[in-house]
Chains A and B, each alone.
Chain A
């Protein structure tokens, strides 16, 4: 199995632009998670899905962030409009059941 696949690996954009991050979970996994990691705040859960349904989005910072999972093999995290404080590494993770999670390599986002 190829593992969790995220794209792009790096994204540099200007403030105000729309950013879309993509994730392909491991086949057969029923949970998908989006995290953000910064030096100051560590690893924060933004939202997670179970069987493509959003379960908990309490970690989404504000309305500028949205996430979708149209099918079992694809999810997106969108930031519109982006701001410099959104600069971070965004990880997608998937798992079977609710415990062990397998992380993708992450998207390193820089908003200028």
Chain B
């Protein structure tokens, strides 16, 4: 079983739609969680950290469910520019710098 699992998609949605991605992780002791965004043929960039209480940044909302070991990302009012691959990232419990990246979920927003 992979340490971080995501549905690769692609998710094809019209502009203005709301779309949600989930990600599951296997290490129950994981402490830090993030969503990164990667555009085609570009480098990954941090989208947002995921906090235990959930957090929102504009149209983006991230949630963490420790009991079920999953993380979610909700995008409201999707824009064409949201088309990208979204990477779920988990940091383990030990005091190391190692981040584990999921394979990513691809989102295509259509006009």
Contacts and interface: CB of A to CB of B under 8 A. Distances in A.
Q: Are chains A and B native binding partners rather than an unrelated pairing? A: yes
Interface of A: 31, 33, 42-43, 45, 48, 50, 55-56, 91, 95, 98-106
- Decide if the interface of chain A is mainly helix, strand, loop or mixed: strand
8 contacts: A33-B97, A43-B101, A45-B99, A48-B97, A91-B44, A100-B34, A103-B43, A104-B43
Contacts of A42: 101-104
Interface of B: 32, 34, 42-46, 49, 87, 91, 95-104
- Decide if the interface of chain B is mainly helix, strand, loop or mixed: strand
Contacts of B45: 103
B101 A95 contact: no
A103 B32 CA distance: 18
Could you say which of A55, A91, A100 has the most chain B C-beta atoms within 10 Å of its C-beta? A100
Contacts, number: 46
A56 B98 CA distance: 8
Contact of A45 (B49, B98, B103): B98
Nearest to B31: A99
Contacts of A103: 43-45
B32 A55 contact: no
B3 to A, nearest CB: 11
Contacts of B46: 100-102
A99 B96 contact: no
Given A43-B44, A43-B87, A91-B43, A101 B103 contact: no
